[in-house]
Chains A and B, each alone.
Chain A
Amino acid sequence: MKRDEIYEALMDSEIEPAVPRPEFGRTLPFVRARVPLEEIYQLSLDAEKPAELVLSAARSGPDELAAAMRALDGKPYRGFALLYAAQKGGPLVAVDPRKALALAQAILAEAASLPEVNRDARATTPAPRQAVQAEARLLESQAFVMMGETNDARTAVASARSLFMESGDLGFGAALCDYYEGEAASFGRDYAAAESLIRGALKTFEEFGQDHLLAKAEAAMGTVVENRGDHAAALSYFDRAIALFDSQRDARALTATLSNRANALAQLARFDEARATYARAMNIALRNEATAQLRYIRTGLAELDFLRGQYARALRAFREIAAESASNGSPTDVLFARLYVAECLGRTGQFDAMAAEVEALRHDRKQTVFSPSPALGELFVCLDQGTIDADLVAHVREYLQAEDSGVERAYEPLRLVG
């Protein structure tokens, strides 16, 4: 989008600009009849509660969702309600991506009966089919990303892009598509595409003055750059995002970005700054009772101790994290915490305890997605052979962490041959 200095000056002027009028002899212009904006605004307000009901029904199940959709039939605000339900479906993606996908697809189908967008540039259609279906496709893409289906996510965004264009988008919808496709590309490890897409979104969000979206795009760029291994460059993106987030309204996003910043600092061996950043993230997570984020931060802090060679302290922290994750976390979190515990024990000369920890891991191995991994296989064979040590545990952990991040590579045994 271009900028126009005179337009900007008119908009910023302290004196309100007025439409120039001839002093006399004015002919009454032809003025098209329009639906008063006030009425459309009221429709959008009326759609708020029904949209929430649709979201609530989507959380409950397909029957409830179908009933909520039928409750919208014939209502003048139906288009807005579907539109807002699609836009507000994000939290459901985090909790249950399959239900979010079902919601997106239900909205897509329901929207088929909405009025088409009016092609006349001077006419307006509140919540036309194309706009609603575009938002449904964006929600669908988020659900696909959460399910690890990045190609499907990008296909959904491509469809959203066409629909936004049909709906007479003024650039903002395209920027949303860039952002979400960039996220999908990032998850799919197509970092070059991710960077280009998110950079485009950044520019438009800035032009439209939406700081919270700009912050999200900056944070996403930081992650892309971080994943490409440029931790120093990632920091500047994280810093800009952190400055733009609202500490109250964006508490979770801010906490997560602070965690990512701390992670980048740790990679750069700037441990004190990393600790201070984790501490700030922890304060916000505690205020918001964000349990999963708190565990993530505590794991980061324990890793800092570990990297600094403070194994006794790291051991205590990882034991607590392992115990807590066992009761309310994921088996993957438990696995990594226990591998750290074993490694700390090995590094502090407690070899029997290390062997016992690995034995316990073997006992519970079927609970994790890494159960068939050859890395764990080597670990357990070496345990039986009495050749296990901290270096082997570290080798296995690093391989599994890379796998958990989506890096696909063959396992190279450290001790076993053939």
Chain B
Amino acid sequence: MQTKVDSLAPLEGWDRRPRPAPPELELPARPVWNWEELNAKFRPRLVAAGVIRFGLSEDDCEAAAQRVFLKALAMNPRVRDPKSFLRAAFLEQCYRLLGERP
């Protein structure tokens, strides 16, 4: 059989093969996010969920939401589904805030 590729077959422009080519690394152009919806509708939902479920203060939840939005923006080229990202990251942030409580 032909030499196995480690992860993926050769990419364009790669004409040297001391080792099998690595995985497809290309990232798409900036994913299109509906920022208006994320900020105006999804963020309040996160904050409310944090207050209702974990008993955190609204201010703490607003800070947590801001933090995870920034994390999402920092990972923008990698994040295609921002809602899923924000949701998971916000939950983790809430757990951390709970862990910081005396």
Contacts and interface: CB of A to CB of B under 8 A. Distances in A.
Given A11-B87, A121-B96, A256 B5 contact: yes
Contact of A2 (B21, B30, B39, B95): B95
Contacts of A233: none
B7 A208 contact: no
A38 interface: yes
A10 B88 contact: no
Nearest to A293: B9
Given A7-B91, A126-B73, A170-B68, A259 B28 contact: no
A284 B64 CA distance: 43
A256 to B, nearest CB: 3
Question: Which DSSP category, helix, strand, loop or mixed, fits chain A's interface?
Answer: helix
Contacts of A223: 4-8
Given A263-B4, A406-B19, A41 B9 contact: no
Nearest to A295: B10
B49 to A, nearest CB: 4
Contact of A16 (B48, B53, B68): B48
A17 to B, nearest CB: 4
A267 B1 contact: yes
Interface in A326-352: 328-330, 332-333, 336
Contacts of A255: 9
A6 B94 CA distance: 13
B78 A124 contact: no
A296 B24 CA distance: 15
B7 to A, nearest CB: 5
B58 A19 contact: yes
Contacts of B68: 170
Interface residues of A, number: 100
Q: Which applies to chain B's interface (DSSP): helix, strand, loop or mixed?
A: helix
Contact of B19 (A20, A187, A307): A187
Contacts of A6: 53
A259 B5 contact: yes
A126 B3 contact: no
Given A210-B84, A223-B5, A292 B12 contact: yes
Max count, chain A CB within 10 A of own CB: residue among B24, B47, B59, B77: B24
Interface in A131-162: 131, 142, 145-146, 148
Contact of B17 (A87, A260, A404): A404
A44 B73 contact: yes
Interface string B42-64: 01111111011110011111111
A257 interface: yes
Contact of B53 (A7, A212, A226): A7
B5 A296 contact: yes
Closest 5 CB pairs of A and B: A209-B84, A90-B25, A256-B8, A253-B24, A94-B11
Interface of B: 1-28, 30, 35, 39, 41, 43-49, 51-54, 57-64, 66-71, 73-81, 83-85, 87-89, 91-97, 100
